[in-house]
């Protein structure tokens, strides 16, 4: 799968440059579960806002092209060989909580424990991921937080898969 190759390439380059990244969304779920469960339209990531310039330079060096979209302080979007990657930027508030870095929701806390989980794995690729519990909360709450983004069928299916996996562990 081409997206798995893109994930491995991005993670390797980021590790070499000391840029922490975490998979989020459907790929975070799949890496937690240890298998590809469905088709993915893109690869969603979290990155620190302080690393945004270095990250953009790294991606450009790997052949990614920036795509205009959300405010640059909130998210960076790129495309390479027809594959989309989206990097939502994180910051910390004065209390040390992980928060939205920019845009209209700047300073809004992400779910507790967002980055506090072991890496996930698919085949020989290990990737930092957002916590499954935080992922469930994000998928449940997104339509509440942003009414312009209604819950999709795939989000409900992802929640069911994650909850079942957490019950088994």
Give the count of domains, the chain: 1
Q: How far apart are CA 105 and CA 114, in angstroms?
A: 17
Q: How far apart are CA 36 and CA 1, in angstroms?
A: 10
Mean pLDDT of 109-122: 96
Domain that residue 10 falls in: 2-131
Q: Is residue 67 part of a domain?
A: yes
Mean pLDDT of 122-143: 93
Mean pLDDT of 89-99: 97
pLDDT number for residue 19: 98
Q: Is residue 151 part of a domain?
A: no
Q: Is residue 113 part of a domain?
A: yes
Tell whether the model's pLDDT for residue 72 goes beyond 90. Answer: no
Q: What is the CATH number of the domain that holds 102?
A: 3.30.460.40
Q: Is residue 126 part of a domain?
A: yes
Query: pTM value?
Result: 0.93
């Amino acid at each position: 799968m081409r997206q798995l190759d893109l994930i491995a390439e991005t993670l390797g380059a980021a590790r070499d440059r000391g840029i922490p990244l975490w998979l989020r969304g459907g790929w975070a779920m799949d890496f937690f579960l240890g298998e590809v469960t469905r088709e993915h339209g893109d690869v969603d990531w979290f990155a620190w806002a302080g690393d945004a310039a270095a990250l953009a330079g790294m991606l450009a060096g790997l052949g990614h092209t920036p795509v205009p979209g959300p405010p640059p302080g909130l998210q960076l979007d790129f495309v390479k060989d027809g594959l989309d990657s989206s990097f939502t930027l994180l910051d910390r508030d004065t209390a040390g909580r992980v928060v939205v870095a920019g845009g209209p929701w700047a300073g809004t806390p992400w779910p507790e424990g967002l980055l506090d989980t072991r890496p996930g794995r698919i085949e020989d690729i290990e990737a930092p991921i957002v916590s499954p519990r935080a992922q469930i909360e994000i998928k449940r709450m997104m339509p509440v937080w942003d009414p312009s983004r209604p819950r999709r069928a795939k989000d409900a299916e992802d929640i069911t898969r994650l909850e079942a996996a957490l019950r088994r562990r």
